[in-house]
Amino acid sequence: MASAIVSALHVLALALGLSGVYLRGRALKGRLDRDGLTRLFAADNAWGIAAGLWIVTGLLRAFGGLEKGSQFYLQSPLFWAKMALFVAVIILEIQPMVTFIRWRRALGRGQVPDTSRARALYVVNHIQMALVVVMVFVASFLARGFGLR
């Protein structure tokens, strides 16, 4: 039963994460007035929650004895490919994370944040979204034992 619940939470993280990153991109492209920023931060929150959920449920599935056992994953090149993609998504997140914290603080102080970097962040956001989509394919092949002899 634990395996089914954790698996469901892992898939729900995908629903939350993909919609969060998509809406964050749309918000970055739109007008970044107070309403636009509120939408941006809401999407960013969903994306952040999804990331936490992915890590917790992913680690539980891989190393908590819920699925095929740690050995299966550690031996699979596709598992490592998936982890490399995930690390790339996290590294790409550093710039948006730092910028959005700055924007949130400025808005909290009643100031208008300097949003001139929005276009560059939109591109980063799109790359992250693409990487997540690739991860879904890698995960599905991984789960079916592809890449193992």
Contact set with ligand HEM (CB under 6 A)? 10, 14, 54-55, 58-59, 61-62, 67-68, 73, 86, 132, 135-136, 139-140, 143
CB 128 within 8 A of CB 92: yes
Q: Could you count the other beta carbons within 10 Å of the beta carbon of residue 149?
A: 4
- Between the CA of residue 135 and those of 2, 3, 26, 131, what are the distances in Å? 23, 21, 22, 6
Q: Specify burial of residue 28 (Cβ count, 10 A radius: 0-12, 13-18, 19+).
A: buried
CB of 2 to ligand HEM, least distance (A): 13
CA pseudo-torsion sign 135, 127, 60, 77: positive
CB 44 within 8 A of CB 100: yes
CB of 31 to ligand HEM, least distance (A): 29
Q: How many CA atoms lie within 13 A of 126 on its CB side?
A: 9
